[in-house]
Amino acid sequence: MKKLISFFLVLTTSLLLTTAISDTLDTSHILRDNGETLISSGDTFELGFFSPGNSTNRYIGIWYRNIPLQTVVWVANRANPIPQTSSATLTLFHGGLLLLLNHTNAALWSTNTSTPAHDPVARLLDSGNLVVVDRHNPDKYLWQSFDYPTDTLLPGMKLGWDSTSGLNRRISSWKGPDDPSPGELSFGVELDVQPQSILWRGTAKYYRAGPWNGMRFGGGPELRSNTVFRFRFASGPEEHYYTWWPVNKSVISRLVVNDTAGARQRYVWGQGSWRLYGSVPQDYCDGYGLCGPNGVCAIIDVPSCECLPGFEPRGGGCERGELAEGCNGKSDFVRFTDLKVPDTNSSWMNRNMSLVECREACVGNCSCTAYASRDIRDGGTGCILWFGDLYDIRRYSSGAQDLFIRIPSLDTGSGGRKREVLIVTISIAIGLLLLSLGIIYFCRKRKRPNRQLSQSRNKKLDLPLFDLSTLTKATDNFSSDNKLGEGGYGPVYKGLLDDGGEIAVKRLSTSSHQGVDEFMNEVICTAKLEHRNLVKLLGCCIHGDEYMLVYEYLTNKSLDLILFDPVKSMELDWPTRIKIINGIARGLMYLHQDSRLRIIHRDLKASNILLDSDMNPKISDFGLARAFGGNETGANTKRVVGTYGYMSPEYAVDGLFSVKSDVFSFGVLVLEIISGERNRGFSHRDHSLNLLGHAWMLYKEEKALELAGFGFEYRCYASNVLRSIQIGLLCVQESPEERPTMSSVVLMLSNETVLTRPKQPGFFTGRLTLEATHENSTSSKTPSSVNEMTITTFDGR
């Protein structure tokens, strides 16, 4: 009898365990709200009953199984919760109908399977998809949760239309963290003439990523395929959908619409937390149609809205001027580059036309206001014509699309108008001719002294000189394929010398905000520097108007490309991060006290820290540096240059810089390296503090370890991490006198001496705007106030 009882106990336990770990629900089982769940075969997702946040209501949903923070990706009964006073079961009926029933057997939610199954099962897949299939035909889905998404788009899910079933797949936000019912935001694909992705607030367009141009949605820079994600849009007779997936299948990522943030966000799981990879809207110009009809928004301009050529400002937008004559007026087309093309609501599309045929079609229709290629691949194919007003155009600095816009011809109008245009044209031509003659005279006058100046500079540089032909050959004629990046100075190219040596060539751009003076400054400051944590200057090239610096090439490029990338940053364990911090500290100490001249860098930031193959850091970009001799330790300037987020308060506001300004920048870098977050643009759901303020708050609350951005590993190095955070806070103290010198910092990092408690950091209360900073700088009453604020926000190599 005992053996029989034992047998039944083992059998019962086995059945319970099987129910708990199975990925399948069949007609002989019921899923109850008593802890029972379905678990996908790869142990990735789990389905069961849950209560979100502080809510007491119950829902049936799917969440990640092995992520400590419960992250729900799908909710069945989001609009019909189970009250706390009730209970419910999930049941699969014969035929394949999946039903959520309450304690009175009333249906709270059900599937709508149209094709009956002989032996149905509901199965949770490792993709996070709950499917209903016939056990004998498991590859044919009779119903799937991926067709009815909630707020999350997982890899492989389709967003868009299925014409055979009539499905329009959209994701819509939760109302709040405690309420999964549909909120105001939704994200999907609008078909119209040319499919485009839209973020709606209610029924109004809130953000538009533009039409699909063969490679991406034209106005969505974050939707470009890269080394981390791939994107695809499929358009056929039965389906029009967008989908995405990570290149590395081990990357855990999700795309959500967030009502609270008012944004569509992409997250990547790494180092113990969800890290924001991208978000839209990103800025003012991402708002739908903010500049009104026929207006163009450009975030780099002030004001940011402007009218298209031939249009005049009128009532919150722009109205057509000469083009209002319609077919009675003559017109031309002007090509505009790097635009998000207008909303395709009032447009016409042809898949097969060439760009020339597209232009002819627009010329032949006087109602046509613009045209563009439908597909930008292979030089452009297909045609889109726009009619009437043009809405939601945005200008980007690069990487967007060409748009050809109809503008009035100069010969449009009456004879009087023609005479007016002729007079103005002749006047302008004469003026330009006189100006050109003056410029030629001036240039010829200066030509000989400039040649002498270049020769004297060459002698003064005392550096190896590279021929222009050598660098042209090494970089394959400065090919875009060899371009490593671009900063305020100009582009940087990778080069390969004849002897096999790899170099980085920094080429002064003709449109550079910096210039020859900064070029010479960088050469003079770095020519004699020799330290393992400073990038090595190999030589330079001065040839006519060409100015180039030649540096050693570093395999891992700049720190920011790894540190702020949710996937790549996983390579940075704590030993690597502290090695980088120590290396930067030693390099900076050398500049401040051990080099031939005392050098203040003035632009220390993550993009100016380069990493070699062993992840050793090297400080680079000395274009803004200042050298001092003797006992000089600082100076005052009326022209503030540097990068917002790294500048010390006394420098940004009063133009006072010293070695302590670099110490402040170093402190910001330390906190960024520990947290994996940028100081500039840092945001937190609970407050408006920047990264410095956030670190300061956590330190005061004795929760400083929460700043660590590299997962649970920090627990093994807790004391070391805490010490580094404290050193970072000491370096960003508001008063420069309170900040340590770099020699003191190196000492603190290398031993266990007791540290003083840091005081309040500077610039910690929130995310200051450039306008606010400029106001502060110009309204200061002190004699040394900043009269010119030049803040460079360019990314380094």
- What are the DSSP calls for 189-212, one per residue? EE-SSS-EEEEEETTEEEEEEEEB
State whether 114 and 69 are in the same domain.
Answer: yes
Surface-to-core class of residue 255, CB atoms within 10 Å of its CB (0-12 exposed, 13-18 middle, 19+ buried): buried
Q: How much is the pLDDT for 634?
A: 56
- In the chain, DSSP finds a helix count (H) and a strand count (E) of 13, 47
Closest CA to 214 of 336, 352, 373: 373
State whether 742 and 698 are in the same domain.
Answer: yes
CA 546 to chain centre: 33
Cβ contact 598:741 at 8 Å: no
State whether 634 and 774 are in the same domain.
Answer: yes
In the numeric block, which tokens belong to residue 783? 């004699």
State whether 206 and 96 are in the same domain.
Answer: no
Strands 639-640, 788-789: pairing is: parallel
Residue 794 lies in a domain: no
- Which CATH number does the domain housing residue 595 bear? 1.10.510.10
Residue 514 lies in a domain: yes
Out of 148, 179, 209, pick the residue that ends a domain. 148
Q: How much is the pLDDT for 643?
A: 82
Closest CA to 219 of 232, 209, 211: 209
Strands 347-350, 331-340: pairing is: unpaired
Contacts with 795 (C-beta within 8 Å, 6 or more apart), sequence order? 485, 486, 487, 560, 607
Residue 797 lies in a domain: no
Residue type, 620: S
Cβ contact 173:258 at 8 Å: yes
Cα(303)–Cα(380) distance, integer angstroms: 32
State whether 519 and 624 are in the same domain.
Answer: no
Q: How much is the pLDDT for 463?
A: 75
CA angle 596, 599, 604 (to 5 degrees): 140
3-state secondary structure of 242: strand
State whether 650 and 638 are in the same domain.
Answer: yes
In angstroms, what CA-CA distances link 118 with 132, 142, 215? 12, 12, 43
Cα(536)–Cα(551) distance, integer angstroms: 6
Q: Where are the beta strands (DSSP E) in 341-399?
A: 347-350, 368-372, 383-387, 393-395
Residue 4 lies in a domain: no
Residue 5 lies in a domain: no
Active site residues: 603
3-state secondary structure of 696: helix
Cβ contact 756:723 at 8 Å: no
CA-atom Rg of the chain in angstroms: 32
Out of 282, 302, 337, pick the residue that ends a domain. 282
3-state secondary structure of 73: strand
Cα(468)–Cα(486) distance, integer angstroms: 20
State whether 625 and 768 are in the same domain.
Answer: yes
- Torsion sign across C-alpha atoms 160, 163, 165, 166: positive
Cβ contact 341:393 at 8 Å: yes
Surface-to-core class of residue 184, CB atoms within 10 Å of its CB (0-12 exposed, 13-18 middle, 19+ buried): middle
Cα(395)–Cα(342) distance, integer angstroms: 11
Domains of the chain: total: 6
In the numeric block, which tokens belong to residue 343? 């909303």
Cα(173)–Cα(188) distance, integer angstroms: 12
Residue 511 lies in a domain: yes
In the numeric block, which tokens belong to residue 585? 């500290």
State whether 171 and 244 are in the same domain.
Answer: yes
State whether 611 and 691 are in the same domain.
Answer: yes
State whether 657 and 757 are in the same domain.
Answer: yes
Cα(342)–Cα(368) distance, integer angstroms: 13
In the numeric block, which tokens belong to residue 97? 């109908």
Cα(657)–Cα(621) distance, integer angstroms: 18
Which secondary structure element, helix H or strand E, spans residue 247, and what is its range?
none
Closest CA to 250 of 363, 344, 126, 132: 126
| Residues belonging to the chain | 797
Q: Which residues of the chain are under the pLDDT cut of 70?
A: 1-21, 220-226, 300-303, 321-329, 409-462, 487-488, 509-517, 521, 629-641, 709-715, 764-797
Residue 268 lies in a domain: yes
Domain span at residue 679 reads 558-789
Cα(196)–Cα(186) distance, integer angstroms: 14
Q: How much is the pLDDT for 662?
A: 95
* Half-sphere CA count of 128, side-chain side, radius 13 A: 25
Contacts with 783 (C-beta within 8 Å, 6 or more apart), sequence order? none
Cα(114)–Cα(140) distance, integer angstroms: 13
Residue 739 lies in a domain: yes
Cβ contact 111:90 at 8 Å: no
Check residue 642 and report its DSSP letter: S
Cβ contact 574:720 at 8 Å: yes
State whether 295 and 408 are in the same domain.
Answer: yes
Model pTM score:
0.63
State whether 688 and 733 are in the same domain.
Answer: yes
Tell whether omega for the bond before 281 is within 30 degrees of 0, i.e. cis: yes
Closest CA to 254 of 45, 76, 430: 45
- Which CATH number does the domain housing residue 30 bear? 2.90.10.10
- What would the pLDDT profile of 350-383 be if each residue is shown by its tens digit? 999 999 999 999 998 988 999 999 998 888 899 9
Out of 493, 527, 553, pick the residue that ends a domain. 553
Q: What is the residue-wise DSSP string for 142-195?
A: EEEGGGS--SEE-TT--EEEETTTTEEE-EEEEEETTEEEEEEEEEEEE-SSS-
